[in-house]
Amino acid sequence: MAEDNWRKDISPEIKAFLEALVEDAHKHKDVYMKSKNPSAAQIWCALAALSKQLFDLNLKLKLLEKVLKDNLEKPSHIKDVPDKKERDDLIRIAANPKKKNL
């Protein structure tokens, strides 16, 4: 199929990601093939899959941030850090976890 040849020329850096995304969207083929424009519907299915992945990662990140913040709020954890700069950084991060601290 000639229109599929472009995928062979994709950069190796992203090729595996593209193939995984196409495979994931293909799971919904029965749905997007009912569309007047199956190609566009397939892209929307892939976009929805990416959106779900991003949502799930954000939930995990929020959970990890909460666990980190809860642990850092306990002075016993922070005082055990021997390096003063690291200890100060941990205190700063715990005080404002939403701000970019890096």
CA torsion, points 20, 26, 27, 28, in degrees to nearest 10? Answer: 130
Q: Domain for residue 38, yes or no?
A: yes
Question: Which pLDDT score, from 0 to 100, does residue 86 have?
Answer: 78
What range does the domain containing 88 cover? 10-95
100 is a domain residue: no
- Tell me whether residue 102 is in a domain: no
3 part of a folded domain: no
Average pLDDT over residues 76-92: 73
Q: Token pair of 92, please?
A: 């700063």
Higher pLDDT, 90 or 37: 37
The model's pLDDT over 60-83, given as tens digits with 9 standing for 90+, comes to 999 998 888 777 666 666 667 778
**Is 5 domain-assigned?**
no
pLDDT of residue 1: 47
Task: Please state the domain count of the chain.
Answer: 1
- CA 31, CA 42: separation in Å to the nearest integer? 9
Confidence of residue 5 (pLDDT cuts 50, 70, 90): confident
Is 4 inside any structural domain? no
Token pair for 58: 């954000």
Residue 89 falls inside a structural domain: yes
